[in-house]
Every structure is written in C-alpha cells, then in structure tokens.
Structure 1
Amino acid sequence: MTEPLSYHRATADAYDAIAVRYAELFRDALDGLPLDRAMIAAFAETVRAAGSGRVAELGCGPGTVAAYLRDLGLTDVFGVDLSPVMIDLAREAHPDLRFEVGSMEALDLADGQLAGVVSWYSLIHIPPRDVPPYFAEFRRVLAPGGVLLLGFFESEGAPVTAFDHKVTTAYRWPIDDLAALAGESGFTEVGRMLREPLEGERFRRGHLLMRAARQPAQ
C-alpha cells in the first residue's frame, strides 16, 4: 500500500511515546524466559542448518531479539520497526547491528532475499482481517525453505480476541487459526510451543516455527 494505514500511525505514535520506558523494562526480558529462548534458539539453529543467510527481526522494538540472534551465532541480522524512537534506541544499544524504520507489510527487500524472519509479538496490533498481507510479505522476502518464527498472545480456546494491551489495542490468536492463516500464504509448520502465563503475565503465549514453501503460494 502506498499510504500508511491508520493503525500503523497509531501504533508508531504509541510506541514512540513509551519507547524509553519500554526499552528499560524489556532489556533483559529474555533472561527469565527459558522456553521462549528455546524457540528462538531453535529458529537460529534451523537457519544455520540451511546454510545461514540474512535474518530480519520485523517489529524489532529496541532490538533485544535481534541482538540475541546475533549472540546465537547468526552473523547477518537486522531489524525493522514502525517507531523511529524505538529504532534510535536499538541503534544506540546495538551499534554493531543495522536497524531501520519501515513497515513489515511493505519491506524494501527483493524477493527471496532472507533466510529467516522473526515476528516476535509484532503481529499482535494488526487487525485480524489485515494479517494475511503480512504473511504474504514474509513469504515474498523469504527464500524457498526460509524460516519464520512467530511469537504472540494465544487466545486459550477463544476466537481471535482484542484486549487492552498497555501500549495500544492488540489481539490474541488461537494457535491453530494463526498457523492455518500462515499456511494459506505458503508456510508449513515445523513446530509449536504454548507457554502458560508466568507471574505478572495475563495470557498464554504462543510460538510457531514455520518454513516457507519451495514454491510461492498462488
């Protein structure tokens, strides 16, 4: 799309407003999340097993996951986010990595350029009816056989459900429904993990590891 959607601007503005506090709160968030780290590690190992290549964290915020992927041995990692303030913070915290402002629905990348894409709680603010173009874009920029990792809030048996996220409206997804929607864009599930909420968390967390089809979806 040539014009930004209204929720793009609203999401960017909301994260700009709390970016400094957000970065402080979540700087070490992965330290206490062994199951989440295990899924990110599985993604990194799957990418390396396929010969490595460029990896993008889309909706990267302050770059925490991108930096963790680098620490896991992925040598060509970069991040994209709608929030200019988040990108400034990511560049400051991780000067050895590349971060740029942009929409993960319209990436400035050639077809098939990436070996891996991580969308770590970045699809959560997209209205459900608008999610398919994002999966189509992920599929477009991934090489055949490329790897996709999704992190999201899981709906625990309910349909897709909006909730009052602390930054801006977000959505909880049934893991089967999100996997099926990605499948319509040419992704095949490799594995999944559901984690019950920890102390201080409200909702179950869902994680999907998927692989791009050898031929693009028609």
Structure 2
Amino acid sequence: MHEVTESSPQPMPVTAEAPSCRRLLHVGCGPKSPHRLHAVFRDQRIWDEVRLDLDPKVVPDIICSTVDMRRLVPSDSFDAVWSSHNLEHLFDHEVPLALAEFRRVLKPGGYLLLRCPDLPAILATIARTGLEEPAYISPAGPIAPLDMLFGHRPSIAQGNRFMAHHTGFSDVRLGRLLREAGFSEVLTRSAEHYDLWAVAFVTPGNSQPVLAELGASGLAFTA
C-alpha cells in the first residue's frame, strides 16, 4: 500500500483505473470496511476508493486533516467525496475550512455526500427522555443522547480522543455552510438514528442522476 502523510514529498498516488471508473475520496474513513461506504459507492467496478484519515492507526491511504488537504490532494481530482460522521469531530471554526476543501478537490460535475448527527432531533429526545436513556442500539452498543452530543463515551474512555464531538448542525445550518463553501445546489434531510444527511453538487443542473441513484439505494432527497 502506498501511504501518503503530511511529511511525504510525493503527490497523491494515482491508481490505474478502468475508463469508466469514478474516484471517491472517503474522508474520516476509519478502519477499512466496505460497510463504511454508502451503498452507492460499494461497487468497485464503478468506484475507486481513496481513504483519508487523521489517525494513522486505521491505515488510510492518506494521513492528514480534512481542514487542509492541499499538499496531498490535488484540486478537481475526485468525482465524489463521502463524509460519514466526521464533520462533528472538528472544532466549529474548522468546519468551513473542511467544507471548502471538499469543494476544492471535487471535479466539475462532482458531489459531496455527507452525514452527521441531527442536533435538533437529539435535543428533542433529551427534552422527552433525558441525556442518558439509550436512544437506539448501534453495533458499538447502546447510544444515548449524551454520546450523540459529545462523542461516544466508551470509545473516548478507551483513549480514542478522535471520537470527541466539538460542534453540531441543523439542516438549515448545514445547508448554509455548504452553500457558503461554494456548492451550487444543496439538499438536506433527516433520517433514522438521528442522522442528518446532505448532498451537495459542484455544477448547477447536475443533480438528477445522482439523486436517482441515492433514491434507489433508499436515501431519497426532496428538492
């Protein structure tokens, strides 16, 4: 595996691809697993996944922060960016920087698919049942509103401080931040397990094929 770190002088590795292969940047990727990809990205005949994470323990292709990827990830080099539950781990002032970086690395016609905790839904649950009553059961065990607000407590207790949360989002706030980062069209929606989803497009009028793919996978957005 060709690993690239912030101290490496080499440019990002370019893998041999089939002519129809699309490039996916998986940011905050965590340990390698196809289940960490959204269903639309799992077909390796279509998507070439490049994994990026700040934590070297998960053995990503690229080790760096999403806040500044300029030395390691060229502009206009990916067809899609997949960001699953990592935006909330940034400090609030870093979020616009990361979103601008996602926009920078996308090709014309590219898009970002993102999910993060749905803060208004979490707060509504706190008002009903309190901070510590489990809201749902995940593969990692029971998840309480306190975990969704501040990060998964058992993981943090075991020394994984990357799991701490430092900011939060509503659909309105997330949509505004994405538009301010330079995306031309942004759609958001709430979903089960207190997830807030967003899909953001670089090029105006380019959304329908992607929205159809997402809808077929069970993730429908309403314009």
In structure 1, C-alpha distance between the alignment counterparts of 2:189 and 2:45, rounded to whole Å = 23
In structure 2, C-alpha distance between the alignment counterparts of 1:183 and 1:73, rounded to whole Å = 31
- Unpaired stretches in structure 2, ≥5 consecutive residues: 1-5, 7-19, 124-145, 157-162, 205-223
Task: Look up the match of 1:209.
Answer: 199
- Check conservation: 1:148, 1:211, Cα contact below 8 A: yes
> Residues 121-132 of structure 1 correspond to what in structure 2 (within 5 A)?
121-132=85-96
The one of 169, 176, 188 aligned to 2:172: 176
In structure 2, C-alpha distance between the alignment counterparts of 1:141 and 1:148, rounded to whole Å = 10
Alignment CA distance shift 1:66-1:163 (3 Å):
closer
Task: Look up the match of 1:48.
Answer: none
* Paired residue secondary structure (1:80): strand
Alignment CA distance shift 1:146-1:67 (3 Å):
closer
Q: Which has the larger radius of gyration?
A: 2
Identity of aligned residues (%): 27
**TM-score, with length taken from structure 2:** 0.58
- The alpha-carbon deviation at position 52 of structure 1 amounts to 5.3
In structure 2, C-alpha distance between the alignment counterparts of 1:194 and 1:100, rounded to whole Å = 30
Q: Deviations over 1:169-215 (max 9, x none)?
A: 31331111011101011113453331133xxxxxx21010110146x
**TM-score, with length taken from structure 1:** 0.59
- Check conservation: 2:88, 2:168, Cα contact below 8 A: yes
* Paired residue secondary structure (1:135): helix
* Paired residue secondary structure (1:163): helix
Computed over aligned residues only, the root mean square deviation of the Cα atoms, in angstroms, reads 2.7
The one of 40, 60, 65 aligned to 2:29: 60
* Paired residue secondary structure (2:74): coil
Task: Look up the match of 1:85.
Answer: 57
- Unpaired stretches in structure 1, ≥5 consecutive residues: 5-50, 91-98, 198-203
- Residue range with higher mean Cα deviation, 149-158 or 106-115: 149-158
